[in-house]
Amino acid sequence: MKTTFLYLFVFLIPATFMMSGFANRTNPNDPVPSNASETKILIDYLEANGNFINTSAAENLVTADDVKKNMKNEKFLMIDIRTKTWFDYGHIKGAVQVDPVNLLTHFQGQITPANFEKIVIICYSGQSAAYYASLLRFAGYNNVYSMKWGMSTWREDFAANAWSKNIGDSQAGKLETTSNPMPAKGDYPSLSTGKTDGKDILNDRLAIAFAKPYKEMTVEAKDFFVNPDQYFIANYADAAVYNNGHIKGAVHYDPYKSLSAAGDLSTLPTDKKIVVYDNTGQVAAHVVAYLHVLGYNVANLAYGNNSFMNKEMVKKGWDGFSTKEIGMNPVVE
């Protein structure tokens, strides 16, 4: 009897560890990249819990008009993540100021997120707000949005500090229209949190992401175009925009559906810095947040296509920033 028990114990322990490795996987028959079991567990967890980056939920932008209409709505919370200096200079009535590094703990201990219909993150240009709104979505707060164009759409003096001084046309006439092939699928980055549960791995990665300033997750056009060949360039705009003209060497990824485990996520390189860009830097910020959590070396091309081909974007009606996007709305000083 003791011999039989010992045999079962020896047999069941390895089997238990094998099964635990598949506990968070969408399909146990899918091959796991050899160097990235934690990353695969995390991907499967995120895809099973909202799959924010690969669904229409990723279009979580609200307009300034929507914010203005809901300033007195108790179910509508506005969180301004600009510095206290800029917040004191002028902010939307009812908004509260929270430093980005404290956002997650603010949600966990200072407010009851479920009490609100929408929680809108507000920044200077809409880009960092989109980034942090994405991280909060990954954390399970599905009612978080960001204000399109940020405070630049609220009043002209705010636009002068952000969008108005960062749009340009330096690459007009230098873009290519031929498609670039997508790389072959490969490994994911290798995470080493020491955790085996998807939620636990995510919590570790979110703590790192919130502690890192958003500025470190961007590259400006003036710096990027000095040597674009040092980056893997991922275009995340609509196909029509990509085909009209894109940065030389850029590979197109379909917005809201291409970065899944079953899709093209593993075509992204793990040995080269990835620069993601779209029309405005606001949707690309979602991708940058996602890839950073997964362990990729990634950055957002600040202000997207508008930073180097603004006039074409305005002309085509492709989210080109112009004075028509700027309002003259009241602020609390």
Residue 277, pLDDT > 60, answer yes
For 201-212, give the DSSP string: HHHHHHHHHHHS
* Rounded mean pLDDT, 127-132: 98
pLDDT one-digit tens code per residue, 282-306: 999 999 999 999 999 999 999 999 9
Residue 25, pLDDT > 60, answer no
Rounded-to-integer distance, Cα 283 and Cα 274, Å:
15
pLDDT one-digit tens code per residue, 143-152: 999 999 999 9
- Please report the domains of the chain, with CATH numbers, ordered by start residue: 54-166 (3.40.250.10), 198-316 (3.40.250.10)
Residue 168, pLDDT > 90, answer yes
- The long-range contacts involving 192-199, CB below 8 angstroms and separated by at least 24 positions, are 192/38, 193/38, 195/38, 196/20, 196/21, 196/23, 196/38, 196/41, 197/23, 197/24, 197/41, 198/24, 198/41, 198/42, 198/44, 198/45, 198/46, 198/48, 199/45
31-40, 157-166, 210-219: the lowest-pLDDT one: 31-40
Contact 150, 168 (CB under 8 A): no
* Rounded mean pLDDT, 311-324: 97
Rounded-to-integer distance, Cα 292 and Cα 194, Å:
18
pLDDT at 118: 98
pLDDT one-digit tens code per residue, 59-91: 899 999 999 999 999 999 999 999 999 999 999
* Rounded mean pLDDT, 300-320: 98
pLDDT at 36: 62
Query: 58 falls in which pLDDT band (50, 70, 90)?
Result: confident
Residue 216, pLDDT > 50, answer yes
For 58-127, give the DSSP string: G--EE-HHHHHHTTT-TTEEEEE-S-HHHHHH-B-TT-EE--GGGHHHIIIII--GGG-SEEEEE-SSSH
pLDDT at 29: 47
In percent, how much of the chain has pLDDT > 70? 89
Query: 258 falls in which pLDDT band (50, 70, 90)?
Result: very high
